[in-house]
Amino acid sequence: MTQLSQSAPFLRRDPADVTPWGETCGEIRCLIEAKDAAAGEVHHVKIQDAKLHFHARTDEFYYVIDGAGTMVLDDSEVELHKGVVVYVPRGVKHKAIGDLTVLVVCVPPGVLDDIHELE
């Protein structure tokens, strides 16, 4: 794991080195977190029984690494499969459904303090 510093102005993290834990969308590995002082956060998530939720201050980009399913976005539903990316603006109620592994990019940082569960 590499930390931001003047001598190394970058971060490098391997999901295998990060301990997962359960949260609103399933099993999450926080690869880049708010405490890293980067421009955003990056989470590796295995979708499991995701709950409908929204973020008041955070936009998210979901990139499907593996699997297939759907995503509920307010009153719409879109199909997901490997390689698909979905932009979820702040305020949009959403949840992913299916057997999915996703990379979620959150901007600005602080998403873990900005989860508003609706179910």
Domain ranges of the chain: 23-117
Instruction: Say which residue the tokens 């890293």 belong to.
Output: 36
Alpha carbon distance 59, 39 (integer Å):
12
Residues counted in the chain: 119
Residue type (1 letter), 56: A
pLDDT digits (tens, 9 = 90+) for 11-28: 999 999 999 999 999 999
Question: Is the separation of the CB atoms in 29 and 13 below 8 Å?
Answer: no
Q: What is the pLDDT of residue 62?
A: 98
- The pLDDT of 25-51, averaged and rounded, is 95
Note the CATH number of domain 23-117: 2.60.120.10
DSSP, res 48 = -
pTM for the model: 0.91
